[in-house]
Amino acid sequence: MKDITINTAIAYDLPPAFSGRHLIDGAWIENAQTFERVSPSHGTVVSVSAQGGVEETNAAIAAARKAFDAGLWSRISGKERAAVLLKVADLIEANVERIAVQETLESGKPISQARGEVGGAADLWRYAAALARTSHGDSHNSLGEDMLGVVVKDPIGVVSIITPWNFPFWILSQKLPFALAAGCTVVVKPSEMTPSSTVMMGELLIEAGLPAGVCNIVLGHGEPVGSLMSTHEDVDMVTFTGSTAVGKLITKASSGTLKKVALELGGKNPQVIFPDADLENAADAVTFGVYFNVGQCCNSSSRIIVHEDIAEDFVARVVALSRSVKFGDPLDDSTQVGAIVTPEHNAKIDGYVKDAASAGARIELGGDPLQVDGLGTQFYQPTVISHVTPDMPIAREEVFGPVLTVLTFKTLDEAIALTNDSDYGLSAGVWSNDIHTCLEFSRRAHAGTVWTNTWMDGYPELAFGGVKQSGQGREIGRYGFEEFLEVKSLVMRVGRDSRTPWVQKGA
């Protein structure tokens, strides 16, 4: 461990444990039964949350249904909805530090990345506000002199939003403002491991003037809260981000009511590096891609596919950069990689690494849990593994940690085949100075997003989502906004009726 960079514990006055409550029909609701979150980095209780059950979930869904049917949000103008969303964006920016510190303590991610996540989410709210004002349908005046056709877009109704622990505030902001912009009402369940930033969002919504019942929050576990949110007949849509396994369960559970389901699931995302690429920039992007958010990211570039002529040199570059990445105390402003979310997940990551080594892969760096002075062992070393074959579990399954696997290729066709040889299809990247190589790869790669000569750049205007077992539907952008809308055709006869009567009188 002497050849990696470790930030030991810094002096920091931790805030009191956050008290989380449900938000139902505009009121904060407590429970006698609660659950605690122990910080993965600091080993102390950082939040105590109300434990929701069937009663609270039913009440939240009923509030959302009542609010939607009353039209107090769904039938007001886009201008009025946009005004509230813009206020929320301003309030987010005014509360970045408070929210980011709590998210860091619950998730273990570096404080600098939590600040970027929370502050950056404001832009999603502002973009959603713009969509609320500019949404429109179509008109068809070419159907005949006495006919007019109009296609309108209505809010889908009550939406269940179920979010994960790795980007709790960002992913909520990929869903919630777009659902609200469309005129929907919602019930939100955050992960039980990172519930507090969602409750803080509820506080901002009330301050911004969102009417009671439009956004309801229920804290608790997948069973019974998430399960009921997926099956209740008064819910019109479920949007979920998390594991592929849970996404499949939600799809199955929701089938009884044929409600719409949008899923953003796992990924095993490759970056493909050709010999003519800018190798310095590519190595930096690969290093960022695998260690960002402790590697606990659906977009993590956890596998690289490198041309065999440059593989040895490129791996050496990434290993050298990895030694300089700062692992350790997530409350240190300079830390780049923090703690693993749970001890069980840390052990799972280590199991993948040890199994790969036993199968013949070579550990170029790391390969073990990491002890950080003053913070314990819920960390994992920066790990690079070469001589990986495509059949190994570590090359095919989502490790969700700071672990990079290296495969090699000889031709473009082989690189594309390796890219597509996966159950997942969330994102992919290509590095080459040949525009023809980049374009061909981009068109043939089975992925919802393809980056060329960059990695993980995203914008509110661009839709996000995957293919195959990485999910269905899209988030953010206009396509993500339209997930929350239903299309309705209005067929109107105007002016003189020129039809030939169907019933001939006196015939």
95-to-13, 85, 115, 222 alpha-carbon distances in Å: 18, 15, 10, 29
Tokens 């159907």 found at: 143
For the chain, the distance separating the N- and C-terminal CA atoms, rounded to the nearest angstrom, is: 98
Which strand ranges, in their side-by-side order, compose the sheet holding 215-217? 27-29, 22-24, 215-217, 185-189, 158-162, 237-241, 260-264, 471-472
Spell out the residues 6+ positions from residue 8 whose beta carbon is closer than 8 angstroms to its own.
328, 329, 372, 373, 374, 375
Whether a cis peptide bond, with omega within 30° of 0, leads into 369 is no
How far is 231 from 217, CA to CA, in rounded Å?
Answer: 17
Q: Exactly one of 298, 364, 398, 438 is catalytic; which is it?
A: 298
Instruction: Dig out the tokens for 328 from the structure.
Output: 């350790």
Question: What are the beta bridge partners of residue 154?
Answer: 486
Catalytic (active site) residue 264? yes
Burial 359-377 (b: 16+ CB within 10 A, else e): eebebbbbbebbebeebbe
How far is 271 from 290, CA to CA, in rounded Å?
Answer: 10
How far is 441 from 415, CA to CA, in rounded Å?
Answer: 9
How far is 154 from 137, CA to CA, in rounded Å?
Answer: 10
The answer to whether the beta carbons of residues 179 and 186 sit under 8 Å apart is yes
Element (H, E) at 472: strand 471-472
Crossing angle of helices 168-182 and 196-208, in 10° steps, is: 40
264-to-155, 162, 290, 403 alpha-carbon distances in Å: 21, 11, 19, 22
Q: Exactly one of 56, 106, 117, 264 is catalytic; which is it?
A: 264
Instruction: Dig out the tokens for 267 from the structure.
Output: 């990924």
Tokens 């029909």 found at: 25
Spell out the residues 6+ positions from residue 219 whose beta carbon is closer than 8 angstroms to its own.
20, 21, 22, 49, 50, 51, 52, 189, 190, 192, 195, 199, 225
How far is 148 from 136, CA to CA, in rounded Å?
Answer: 16
Query: Three-state SS for 348?
Result: helix
Instruction: Dig out the tokens for 452 from the structure.
Output: 């060329």
Residues annotated catalytic, as ranges: 264, 298
